[in-house]
């Protein structure tokens, strides 16, 4: 028996990434489609459960001339992390102590967190920072240490930024994986970070990956936002992104961790 063909309108699939024209066996999917879906889901699941190799990332950043502090939230266990977003927003005691001795006023603290896709962080965080550094130099930004955080939710950056005494914090974090892309980074910028900030007080750059918003473009947009945030002393809904670098993708903060 030969494999069931795609539907005669399969060529329409070039207009969308949606799974159209799949073909059928009676009411059911062809075997190839069952397995192709299973593979995409498996990759997304692996991305959610992957653990961030913080030391490897620290080494990579050292190659860029950046010192890193390695911390974690109260939710390093992935099961706990997924169930308890509140713990992912709270630093472990050890981490707090570690950061307190590094306190020194700076313009921007960068936090790299695993979020819901360590895969994304491993794949693109170094490229993003590498692209961002020349902008930081150009703008004369005083950068704090880069903080690598495991078990991180976006709001963990509020506590980190406050302890370090940073004017603003940029949290670079793995976004919730979809079936088409399991390696998207999100960047959340918050001016005057402190625990209790809400999402309306942040600016978000999402879908950062080579096939989405390329890291170099995201870095330029982040630089613009940081510059504007420091000048206007705010972030959030009242700071509109005026860069013209969009790719037509909508920020989906509901996709963020």
Partner 1 sequence: MTFRRQIKHTTYVFGSLAELLAKASPPRAGDRLAGLGAATAEENVAAKLALADVPLKTILATPVIPYDDDDVTRLILDTHDIKAFKPIASLTVGEFREFLLSPATTSRTLAALAPAVTPEIAAAVSKLMRNQDLILAARKMQVVTAFRNTIGLPGTMAVRLQPNHPADDPVGIMASIADGLMYGAGDAVIGINPASDSLPRIEGLLRLLDDLIQRFEIPTQACVLTHVTTTLQLVGKGVPVDLVFQSVAGTEAANRSFGITLDMLKEAEAAARDLKRGTIGQNVMYFETGQGSALSANAHHGVDQQTCEVRAYAVARAFRPLVVNTVVGFIGPEYLYDGKEILRAALEDHFCGKLMGLPMGVDVCYTNHAEADQDDMDVILTALAAAGVTYIMGIPGADDVMLGYQSTSFHDALFVREAFNLKRAPEFEAWLKSAAITDGSGRLLPARADHPLLAQSLLKSKALRSRRPA
By CB under 8 A, name the one of 1, 2, 27, 140 that touches partner 1.
Answer: 27
Q: In the chain, which residue ranges form alpha helices assigned H by DSSP? A: 31-49, 54-63, 78-83, 85-88, 93-100, 118-139, 156-164, 215-232
Stretch of 45-53, 99-107, 218-226, 236-244 lying at the interface with partner 1 (CB under 8 A): 45-53
Total residues at interface with partner 1 (CB under 8 A): 45
Residues 148-187: x/- map of binding to partner 1 (CB under 8 A)? ----------------------------xxxxx-x-----
Q: With respect to partner 1, which residue has the nearer C-beta, 9 or 140?
A: 9
**Is 1 among the residues that bind partner 1 (CB under 8 A)?**
no
Q: Do β-strands 185-191 and 106-113 pair in parallel, antiparallel, or remain unpaired? A: unpaired
Q: How many CB atoms lie within 10 A of CB 234?
A: 17
For residue 19, state whether it binds partner 1 (rule: CB under 8 A): yes
| 196 makes contact with partner 1 (CB under 8 A) | no
Q: Interface with partner 1 includes 252 (CB under 8 A)?
A: yes
Q: Which strands make up the sheet holding 166-174, listed edge to edge? A: 68-72, 146-150, 106-113, 166-174, 185-191, 202-208
Q: Does 16 bind partner 1 (CB under 8 A)?
A: yes
Stretch that binds partner 1, among 66-74, 92-100, 213-221, 244-252 (CB under 8 A): 244-252
- Please identify which residue in 3, 35, 38, 56 interacts with partner 1, judged by CB under 8 A: 38
Binding range to partner 1, per CB under 8 A, among 64-72, 135-143, 219-227, 242-250: 242-250
Based on the shown chain and the rule CB under 8 A, indicate whether residue 83 belongs to the binding site for partner 1: yes
Examine residue 45 and tell whether it contacts partner 1 (CB under 8 A). yes
Closest C-alpha to 177, from 212, 147, 144: 212
Q: Based on the shown chain and the rule CB under 8 A, indicate whether residue 249 belongs to the binding site for partner 1.
A: yes
Q: CA 241, 245, 250, 252 torsion: positive or negative?
A: negative
Three-class SS string for 146-173? EEEEECCCCCHHHHHHHHHCEEEEEEEE
Q: Angle 145-135-143 (CA atoms, 0-180°, nearest 5)?
A: 20
Virtual CA dihedral for 158, 164, 167, 168, nearest 10 degrees? -40
Contact positions vs partner 1 (CB under 8 A)? 7-9, 12-22, 24, 26-29, 33, 37-38, 40-41, 44-45, 47-48, 82-86, 116, 176-180, 182, 248-250, 252, 255
């Amino acid at each position: 028996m030969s494999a069931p063909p795609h539907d005669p309108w399969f060529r329409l699939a070039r207009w969308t990434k949606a799974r159209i024209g799949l073909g059928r066996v009676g009411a059911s999917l062809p075997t190839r489609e069952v397995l192709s879906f299973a593979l995409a889901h498996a990759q997304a699941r692996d991305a959610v459960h992957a653990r961030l190799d913080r030391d490897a990332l620290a080494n990579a950043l050292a190659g860029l001339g950046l010192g890193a502090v390695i911390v974690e939230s109260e939710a390093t266990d992935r099961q706990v992390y997924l169930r308890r977003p509140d713990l992912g927003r709270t630093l472990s005691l050890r981490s707090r102590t570690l950061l307190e001795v590094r306190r020194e006023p700076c313009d921007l603290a960068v936090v790299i967190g695993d979020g819901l896709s360590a895969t994304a962080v491993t794949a693109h965080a170094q490229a993003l920072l590498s692209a961002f550094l020349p902008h930081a130099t150009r703008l004369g930004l005083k950068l704090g240490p880069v903080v690598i955080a495991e078990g991180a939710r976006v709001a963990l950056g509020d506590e980190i930024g406050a302890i370090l005494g940073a004017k603003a914090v940029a949290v670079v974090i793995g976004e919730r994986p979809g079936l088409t892309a399991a390696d998207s980074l999100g960047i959340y910028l918050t001016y005057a970070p402190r625990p209790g900030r809400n999402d309306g007080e942040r600016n978000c750059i999402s879908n950062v990956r080579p096939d989405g918003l390329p890291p170099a473009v995201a870095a330029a947009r982040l630089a613009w936002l940081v510059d504007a945030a420091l000048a206007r002393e705010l972030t959030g809904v009242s700071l509109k992104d005026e860069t013209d670098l969009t790719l037509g993708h909508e920020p989906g903060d509901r996709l963020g961790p």
